[in-house]
Amino acid sequence: MSRMPLLEFEGVRLSNSDLRTDIRGALLKIEPHEMLNESLGSVAISFNPLIGTIRGLHFQVEPFAEEKVVSCIQGSIFDVIVDIRPNSKTFGKWSSFELSSENGLYAFLPKGIAHGFQSLQANTIIHYCLTSIFSQESAISINPFDDIGIDWPISNITISEKDRAGMTLSMATLKYAASLGTQ
């Protein structure tokens, strides 16, 4: 698989948050309703105490497929997306970018984009706004070391057994297509 420029991914957008700082600290304001095509289903926060932690690559199939707005509210991450949409021109391709509390960027990810990240700093915190609730039956994990070819920046990693044992990209794309009724 090959890495593609982020701008090639239809529907994926990076935006600047409204970050305000003063002597007290900072306020990071994100307007997910401006990006999400559906109403907000849930909010999730990921705490990552160790440098090199990999989470993902995750997505959900229908009827719980979800749009996501992802931001890093503390620390920084190497954020990775993989396109699993069968009719997309970037199908099977991946891209990466950095999200951090310093750069204030956040990402909008449409349905059909698998997402994962590696923490670049200790005690990194990620905030998600999701258009669907979590469904164990619909949740899919793709092995981040599959033949996708992601060049993770930190070699000393921490990863869950579930993510390490995730399915191949080809199997995951078949599951996603089947949930749409298009195989």
124 forms beta bridges with: 48
Tokens 């000393």 appear where? Answer: 156
| Assigned token pair, 1 | 């698989």
6-180 CATH pick, 2.60.120.10, 3.40.1710.10, 1.10.510.10, 3.40.50.720 = 2.60.120.10
| Assigned token pair, 166 | 């995730």
d(CA 137, CA 81): 22
Residues serving a catalytic function are 58, 128
Contacts of residue 148, Cβ cutoff 8 Å, sequence gap at least 6: 1, 57, 82, 94, 142, 169
Q: Do 85 and 56 touch, CB atoms closer than 8 A? A: no
pLDDT of residue 9: 86
Residue 119: pLDDT above 70? Answer: yes
Confidence of residue 140 (pLDDT cuts 50, 70, 90): very high
Contacts of residue 150, Cβ cutoff 8 Å, sequence gap at least 6: 3, 80, 94, 96, 144
| Domain boundaries defined on the chain | 6-180
| Assigned token pair, 120 | 């670049």
| Secondary structure percentages of the chain, helix, strand, coil, to 5 | 10, 40, 45
> In this predicted model, which residue has the larger pLDDT, 94 or 146?
94
pLDDT in tens, 22-58: 777 777 666 666 666 777 778 899 999 999 999 999 9
